[in-house]
Amino acid sequence: MSWVIIERGGKRSRFAVVCTPRGVWVGWPGRGDLISGVDNHTNIAHRHDDVRAPMTGRVITVAAKGGARVAKGDLLVVLEAMKMEYRLTAPHDGIVEAVHCAEGELVDLGASLVTLTQSK
Amino acid sequence: MKILVANRGEIACRVMHTLRELGIASVAVCTRPDADAPHVWLADETVDLGEHDQYLNIDTIIGAAQSSGATAIHPGYGFLAESARFARACREADITFIGPSPETMEQLGDKRAAHVIAEKVGVPTVPGARDINTLDEARSASAHIGYPLLLKAAGGGGGKGMRLVSDAAEMESAFAGARHEAQSAFGDVRLLIEKYIHPARHIEVQILGDGKRVIALGERECSLQRRYQKVIEESPSPGITQATRDALRDAAVRIATVAGYANAGTVEFLVGPDGQFYFLEVNTRLQVEHPVTEMLTGIDLVQEQIRIARGEPLSDPPTARGHAIEARLYAEDPYNGYLPQSGGVLMLEWPSHPCVRIDTGIREGDRVHPFYDPLLAKLVAWGNTRKQATRRLRAGLLASVVLGIKTNQSFLLDILDSEFFAQGETFTSTLSGRQWTEPPPPDCLDEIVAKASTRTPAMSAGAGDVHSPWQSLGRFRMSQ
């Protein structure tokens, strides 16, 4: 752990910082956040057609079948972490090009679970 | 006397503090991911259980008690705390289960049986239907009760296996989801349906019974919830009259007395906008938010549980004083669907204040695993008034530092700073009905990051890699 002191207009403020390979964790009163790098699925640079794990967890259901046509909102995969279920549905109409996970498998945040092609 | 604590995290740590205070030897149990967890270090000895899911294995836990020579088991909350089968297995192994008898747990822990008892002693219940096993049963019962309604697991609480169903079209997917969660959380697929009371307060009464007499230690309001999980709890409730308060206590005592309740428990109610209350369920265990009552009364509920389990009679209820508020610090992203977060805790600091209590089960350097509950800590503040308790809790949250994992810290502060909270306008629907935005970072962020990058050597990938909790598991397995 370490702290940095910032002086602005004669006022000294102290901030908690921890450097990691993914960026710098910065703490200020009431909040801490990872500032640079990648920390969640919203800023992971991902291939357009990949449906990715929004959290680290266990795959409990794989509803998507390779080659199947799906409509927007169709269930693809169900993940579970900390006893909470998260249902991943198709973001758009398309064809399931590949399924990259299996039931019971542990997947990391950001892992590609299903590749979906856009229907023309 | 030697007591095994069949739990992990903050509640195992909290129970062990009391055991140490009372001079009772303690036995921890731990799974592989928890081999180095704080509760292990607080205990006098530890029994390894094996894989991450073994906190739920009755035979393994009973075996751990026998091999360590423990004569009693404290179940904490969650895991096996509300399993009558577990309580019975303890009895058969001649081990004292610190909680009510298996008969009481079956009678009250099962919502159906509990509602029959409530109705028998004249306590109203929410209109609904029980024993829902098929989609057709769910559909026909719902048509009768009317939407909106709630689908719930018959076998447990804590919001697991629960779904709000707004109309008939949503029933099919809600039914499948609730049934699956009920199976994985409680090993019991039975569901029940309830009319949705709106806007409602969730108010519960802490009780203690010795098998002959039951006393009420006051209520806790736990209306502020997300995904049906409590976030902020307080006592006294800011939203009920003294008459309603007295009636709630009386109803709780009537239900527990007729069941011959022996040990600590909580009777939960929904209170409608008209002050009409409905019995929900009895939690036959210590609650997560039990410190709120402890702060108000000065009582140690774990100590009371042990006294009752030893057959000692109840002492007279202490007088409650002032106001207490608890905030639950979760490893989750409140601005992104409350998604649970796992990873390494890289930096950790807690406030120090005579009226702010911190119950936690994490230390700096620990990992938060995806297998278990995302609760990191509970901050509980006491004050002479609600306003003072709120200010103290707010100061405590501002002084807390958790880096390495996203938490709901700023979300808790936003709640405490909100107008609805100040007015005591707290309902079960309040949090979900609001848009919550991530607070902006400090102006000088670039300067902070620049300074940090030059001053602090980047951590090696091994120690600081928060990408994959599975990696640390892999290393652990290899060293076995």
Of the pLDDT bands very low, low, confident and very high (cuts 50, 70, 90), residue B114 is very high
B465 in a structural domain: no
In a domain, A110, yes or no: yes
Does residue A106 sit in the same domain as residue A49?
yes
Burial B145-180 (b: 16+ CB within 10 A, else e): bebebbbbbbbbbbbbbbbebeeeeebeebbbbbbb
Q: Which residue has the higher pLDDT, A80 or B23?
A: B23
From residue B51, alpha-carbon distances to A82, B99, B473 in Å are 15, 26, 11
All residues at 6 or more sequence positions from B352 whose CB lies less than 8 Å from its CB, including other chains: none
DSSP track, B72-116: EEE--SSTTTT-HHHHHHHHHTT-EESSS-HHHIIIIISHHHHHH
Show Cβ contacts of residue B446 under 8 Å, excluding neighbours closer than 6 positions.
none
CA distance A8 to A5: 10
**Same domain flag for A15 and A62:** no
The reply to whether A112 touches chain B by the CB within 8 Å rule is: no
With 50 as the cut, is the pLDDT of residue B465 above it? no
Amino acid type, A85:
E
Consecutive H or E run containing A115: strand A112-118
Please report, for residues B117, B261, B300, B454, the alpha-carbon distance to residue B214 in angstroms, rounded to integers and kept in the order given: 16, 7, 17, 63
Question: What amino acid occupies position B184?
Answer: S
> Quick check: B212 pLDDT over 90?
yes
Helices and strands in chain B, H and E counts = 17, 23
The model's pLDDT over B327-355, given as tens digits with 9 standing for 90+, comes to 999 999 999 889 999 999 999 999 999 99
What was the pLDDT predicted at B176?
92
Contacts of A89 in chain B (CB under 8 A): none
Q: Tell me the chain B residues in contact with residue A84 when contact means C-beta distances shorter than 8 Å.
A: 160, 227, 340
One domain for residues B253 and B401: yes
Taking a C-beta distance cutoff of 8 angstroms, is the pair A115, A98 a contact? yes
Mean pLDDT within B464-472: 42
Same domain, A25 and A62: no
pLDDT of residue B479: 34
The residue segments making up the domain with residue A6 are 2-34
Over residues B221-233, mean pLDDT: 94
- Confidence label for B480 from pLDDT (cuts 50, 70 and 90): very low
Complex-level ipTM: 0.81
Does residue B334 have a cis peptide bond before it, meaning omega lies within 30 degrees of 0?
no
Do the Cβ atoms of B177 and A17 come within 8 Å?
Answer: no
Q: Would you say residue B466 has pLDDT above 70?
A: no
pLDDT of residue B474: 35
CB atoms within 10 A of CB B48: 16
- Share above pLDDT 90 across residues of chain B, in percent, rounded to a whole number: 78
Mean confidence (pLDDT) of chain B: 91
**Domain-located, residue B90:** yes
The reported pLDDT for the residue numbered B477 is: 34
Give the range among A85-94, B196-205, B247-256, B385-394 with minimum mean pLDDT. A85-94
Q: Are residues B259 and B405 in the same domain?
A: yes
Q: Establish if B407 belongs to a structural domain.
A: yes
Could you tell me if B144 and B259 lie in one domain?
Answer: no
Predicted pLDDT of residue A2: 84
CATH number at residue B141: 3.30.1490.20
Nearest CB among A21, A30, A55 relative to B339 is that of A55
Strand partners, B9: none
From A106, A116, A4, select the one nearest A55 (Cα to Cα). A106
Judge whether A39 lies within some domain: no
- Given a cut of 80, is residue B478 above it in pLDDT? no
Q: Give the separation between CA B105 and CA B256, rounded to whole angstroms.
A: 11
| Contact by Cβ (8 Å): B85, B64 | no
Mean pLDDT lowest for which of B20-29, B191-200, B282-291, B461-470?
B461-470
Per-residue pLDDT, A118: 75
Q: How far apart are CA B36 and CA B476, in angstroms?
A: 11
B303 vs A57, residue with greater confidence: B303
Determine the pLDDT at residue B435. Answer: 87
Residues A52 and A90 in one domain: yes
Q: A95 - beta bridge partners? A: A69, A117
| Cross-chain Cβ contact A1/B441 below 8 Å | no
The total of structural domains in chain A comes to 2
Q: Does A86 touch chain B (CB under 8 A)?
A: yes
Q: Is A9 on the interface with B (CB under 8 A)?
A: no
Q: What is the pLDDT of residue B421?
A: 98
Flag whether B250 is in a domain. Answer: yes
- Confidence class of residue B227 from pLDDT cuts 50, 70 and 90? confident
Q: Is residue B217 located within the same domain as residue B317?
A: yes
Give the least confident one: A96-105, A111-120, B44-53, B134-143: A111-120
Nearest 5 degrees, angle CA B264-CA B270-CA B274? Answer: 135
- pTM, entire model: 0.80
Same domain as A29, residue A62 = no
Q: What percent of chain B has pLDDT over 70?
A: 94
Q: Are residues B179 and B231 in the same domain?
A: no
Q: Are strands B25-31 and B2-5 parallel, antiparallel or unpaired?
A: parallel
Residues B117 and A40: their CA atoms lie apart, in Å, by 48
* Contact state of B336 with A39 under an 8 Å Cβ cutoff: no
In the prediction, which pLDDT does B470 show?
44
The total number of structural domains in chain B stands at: 3
Q: Which domain holds residue B167?
A: 127-195
Task: Please report the pLDDT score of residue B358 as a whole number.
Answer: 98
Which of the given ranges, B105-119, B181-195, B289-303, has the highest pLDDT on average?
B289-303
Cβ-based contacts of A83 with chain B (< 8 Å): 160, 181, 184-185, 373
Characterize B104-123 residue by residue with b for buried, 16 or more Cβ atoms within 10 angstroms of its Cβ, and e for exposed: bbbbbbbbebbbebbeeeeb
Sites in chain A below the pLDDT cut of 70: 1, 37-48, 119-120
Q: How far apart are CA B335 and CA B355, in angstroms?
A: 30
Instruction: Count Cβ–Cβ pairs < 8 Å, chain A vs chain B.
Output: 160
A113 and A60 share one domain: yes
DSSP string, B405-447: S--SHHHHHHHHHSHHHHTT---TTTTTTS---PPPPPTTHHH
Q: Is the pLDDT of residue B469 over 50?
A: no
Site from B346, B403, B446 to mutate, A interface, most A CB atoms within 10 angstroms: B403
Higher pLDDT, B420 or B471: B420
